[in-house]
Structure 1
Amino acid sequence: MAHHNPWPDEGNTGHIWDEDIRELDNPPPLWWMLSFYAGFIMIIFYTLYYPVIPLTDKMGGFTKGLTDWTQINEYNDDYKVLKDWRVAKFADKEEKLASMSVADILKDDELKSYAVATSKMLFGDYCAACHGAGGAGNPNFPVLADDDWLWGGKANQIQASITNGRVGNMPARGMMGNLTDEDIDHVTDYVVALSEGKGNDAQYAAGKAVFAKGMCLACHGPTGKPLAPAGAANLTDQVWRFSSDREEIKNVITYGVNVKKNGEYIKGTRQAIMPAFKERLPNPEVNIKRLAVYVHELGGGQ
């Protein structure tokens, strides 16, 4: 950088490089200055118009602005517009859902498709935590996408399950005193054999006798198939409510399901409770039907 200024009257800053490259000191264009000052005006306007300045809780939390605008208020206003539009657009279908039975909805392809499409968010919010995405079932919770039902897979039965909930019930055979440890081992082996189609093999005769002695057949049926859907598992397929592990099966036989003593669950008992959704869901009269159709159509509805 040169130490002399060959152009003293040019209006440069005196900074010169490579003999003739210099830094000028010209004023900014008028349009730029106007924009610059307009920016300050906009800051003042923005500060007055919008909630900007944080305050203490005693002072109101923040300045409200001239219009009391907030993102939440804008969101609520926009959501109301969308909701009103949806109500107007789908009012006829919603009226049909409210007036028709689940069985009749399933017969109407267009209405059934509408119910399924509008149930996905409901299922995700209220059901997927236990039953998994798409009804695939999380560990220790029933799968809804197969054709194995504890309480029945017909439309009205699914609706009843969602409405009133379900509470599993199996006595603790090991706690009742009518089965010895040896009996429980025998019947456990027999239950495993039933799921493998080997229930009639001679080596499981002792377990079959215990199955009758312990009155297991009263709920699970003489051959391991319940005579009616009433919460009892089908022991002849390979679908397990909790686990196919032999020790887990033995544990369920020993300590039962939802067994209480003095108002408390006994140690080792399995808990199987589905809450009632008639008071949990918004607009339950319609949304229970909507979910019943969705569950029925997951792949295993009867």
Structure 2
Amino acid sequence: MANWLTDYVRPGIRSLFGRKETPDNLWTKCPSCGQMIFHREYKDALFVCEACGHHGLVQARDRLAQLLDAGYTVLPVPAVAADPLKFRDEKKYVDRLKEARTKTQLDDAVLTGSGTMDGQPAVVSVQSFAFMGGSMGMAVGESLVGAAQEAIQRKAPLIVLTASGGARMQEGTLSLMQMPRTTVAVEMVKEAGLPYIVVLTNPTTGGVTASFAMLGDVHLAEPKALIGFSGARVIEQTIRERLPEGFQRAEFLNEHGMVDQVVHRHDLKPTLVRLIRLLMRQGPTDLMIVPEADPVPEPAAPAS
């Protein structure tokens, strides 16, 4: 026999006054200081923790929206062989690609936008670390070649934001071949007399560092970004020496001449705009102020 109090009244009261569950995606925990940040405020702050200044990972589409003016065009990723080596480890490579595409809503680990930056023509390619660690496979190589061709056609600078763990092992030698291919793409841009600017973000390692990431006319980096080829532990084991504090971080590389400037994410777009105007020779900017030269005195008249 049903009990009216326990079966009907108590559940009704609980539904009225019960604790409501908070969606998991409303808050983000800073991986550096542990501060809980309201997700909307975190996005408005360009995914930078206001408590400690930690620069969090940014999705590729958000990067393009942060840098390019409204109305830019996203270039399609060129079609490549889906699984040329029929590779399988714990999972089939094709299954890993499907999972990454579902998770990121990207076709592969790079997204290219063609548009303007504060009115200046620009082509911007962004690597997505969320897509299989930003690993460089054939699709990434083809995309960067396409980005270079787009920049040449539009007579616009090419800007690449790197974030990668290196080559994509599931594509073997075909992945390693993208290193010389992307190098040739960069040379195409330079031979056309156009600027090639690299923004090194956390992390930039492996074959990406050994190819297009370190070939820029100017290298910018975000604060504390990890930049290198091999991991620090591998290097220490090879040379049998303890590495200095902060080795492979953006600030260390800036001090030793490998990075031109470490730029806070909030200042990245205006810095890039100033660089574009300077490198495209569009007049003086506040990035570099050249003092006027003192007038050369006229030679004294020879004594008679």
The structure richer in strand per residue is 2
Say yes or no: TM over 0.5: no
Structure with the greater alpha carbon radius of gyration: 1
Name the TM-score, length of structure 1 as normaliser: 0.20
Q: What is the TM-score with the length of structure 2 in the denominator? A: 0.20
More helix by proportion, 1 or 2?
1
